[in-house]
């Protein structure tokens, strides 16, 4: 077994996959989540026991896969924050989508405790997380990369090294999220537009993936609409947050992002309509409702 003890904090669809991939690679992995059932499930599959307070001093790495900046800061520096308890030379691998300035601040505060910080947003979805095949947009000191190497080797197919300073990884993730959110909204708009013109969702998915108008998001999310299955792999609620971060960053530099603004409006409408917990393909329901259209019901 590799002599690396890891905590994965946040056992949602991405975090659970990361924890499982690290465990399968031979690392000793502790999993933590506010949902106790997820912790129990992970331990039943071979995850290491113990409370976070107990294991924090033993950790080589803590992988933070929570929702946002506020949750990241709470885990690291809140009343029960782990950084002050971690050993010198250990590393925090922070995976949430956050503003670059926040990542730089976290890195500075971690350094004050002799703990490395790797700004490491992730992409690839729950399936790639479970298969140890994520893409990681990472930035941090060479020592942070060195300390994080066993985790990255176990969980990522591609690691993009974007510089020696935290913040660059988060900036690239913001670029990715701009495109991903816009592409999902555009897919939903195009598919429902097609339905309005007599093009079935099934025919849409048979033709458009073979044409120039396709995208990875179209090919990945479109089948959810065809199947009428909105089981969340990535939920609607993620996008008001992530596209909001994009627009906050843009505002700081007086950059106009009207397409992002339009996509955010549709996801916000979906969340307001009670669809926030559904798969993000459910943004198509907003378009369908506006146009009086019926989407496939599925089995």
Go through the chain and tell me how many residues it has: 299
Task: Give, for 187, the enclosing helix (H) or strand (E).
Answer: helix 168-196
Distances (CA, A) of 227 to 111, 115, 178, 277: 48, 47, 26, 18
CB 128 within 8 A of CB 157: yes
* CB contact set of 99 (below 8 Å; sequence gap of 6+): 69, 170, 174, 245, 248, 249
Q: How far apart are the first and last CA of the chain?
A: 45
Beta pairing partners, 122: 136
Place of tokens 């405790």: 113
> Whole-angstrom Cα distance, residue 212 to residue 230?
26
DSSP annotation of 91: E
SS in 3 state form for 276-298? CCCEHHHHHHHHHHHHCCCCCCC
Q: Is 158 a catalytic residue?
A: no
Identified catalytic residue from 85, 128, 173, 285: 173
Beta pairing partners, 180: none
Enumerate the active-site residues: 173
């Amino acid at each position: 077994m590799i002599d690396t003890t890891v905590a994965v904090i946040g056992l949602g669809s991405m975090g659970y996959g990361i924890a499982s991939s690290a465990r399968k690679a031979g690392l000793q992995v502790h999993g933590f989540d506010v949902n106790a059932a997820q912790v129990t499930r992970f331990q039943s599959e071979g995850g290491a026991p113990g409370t976070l307070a107990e294991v924090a001093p033993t950790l080589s790495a803590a992988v933070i896969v929570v929702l946002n900046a506020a949750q990241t800061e709470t885990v690291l520096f809140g009343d029960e924050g782990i950084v002050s308890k971690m050993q010198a030379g250990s590393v925090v691998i922070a995976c949430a989508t956050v503003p670059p300035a926040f990542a730089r601040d976290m890195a500075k505060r971690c350094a004050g405790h002799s703990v490395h910080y790797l700004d490491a947003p992730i992409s690839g979805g729950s399936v790639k997380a479970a298969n140890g095949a994520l893409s990681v947009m990472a930035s941090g000191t060479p020592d942070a990369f060195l300390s994080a190497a066993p985790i990255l080797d176990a969980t990522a197919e591609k690691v993009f090294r974007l510089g020696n300073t935290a913040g660059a990884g988060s900036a690239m993730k913001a670029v990715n999220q701009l495109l991903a959110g816009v592409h999902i909204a555009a897919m939903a708009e195009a598919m429902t537009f097609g339905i309005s013109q007599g093009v079935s969702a099934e025919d849409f998915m048979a033709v458009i993936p073979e044409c120039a108008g396709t995208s990875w998001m179209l090919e990945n999310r479109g089948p959810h609409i065809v199947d009428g299955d909105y089981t969340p792999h990535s939920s609607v609620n993620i996008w008001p947050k992530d596209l909001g971060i994009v627009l906050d960053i843009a505002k700081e530099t007086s950059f106009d992002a009207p397409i992002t603004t339009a996509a955010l409006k549709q996801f916000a409408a979906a969340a307001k309509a009670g669809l926030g917990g559904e798969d993000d393909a459910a943004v198509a329901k907003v378009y369908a409702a506006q146009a009086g259209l019926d989407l496939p019901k599925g089995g």
